[in-house]
A = this chain, B = another copy of it.
Amino acid sequence: MELIPGNSLITETPEAGRRLAMDMALHSIYAIQPDGEILKTGRTVYATDPDELIASSQVVALEFATIAAANNYWR
């Protein structure tokens, strides 16, 4: 599995960059825990527990900061 879909940080729009940030966050979770069953059980937890929803959104924010810089903020 690719860790960075498309092997590039460059995207056409901020929206596409944001989707890439979400994908990169997810793919690093897959790389750490490749067992789909465990991940599915885990998802039930993190996607309903506000604590972990917020933590997940923080990882997306961090990945996006890097992608936005790579794209000169799509200025």
Identical copies of this chain, number: 6
Total interface residues on A, CB under 8 Å, equals 51
Bound CA–CA A62/B69 (angstroms):
13
Report the Cα distance A59→B64, complex, angstroms. Answer: 12
Please list 18 pairs of residues, one from A and one from B, whose beta carbons are closer than 8 Å in the complex, sorted by A's number: A2-B15, A3-B15, A7-B15, A9-B14, A18-B24, A25-B61, A29-B53, A32-B53, A32-B57, A33-B48, A49-B50, A51-B51, A51-B52, A61-B63, A66-B68, A68-B69, A70-B73, A70-B74
- Residues of A near any B CB (own CB < 8 A): 2-4, 7-10, 13-15, 18-19, 22, 24-25, 28-29, 31-33, 38, 42-43, 45-66, 68-70, 73-75
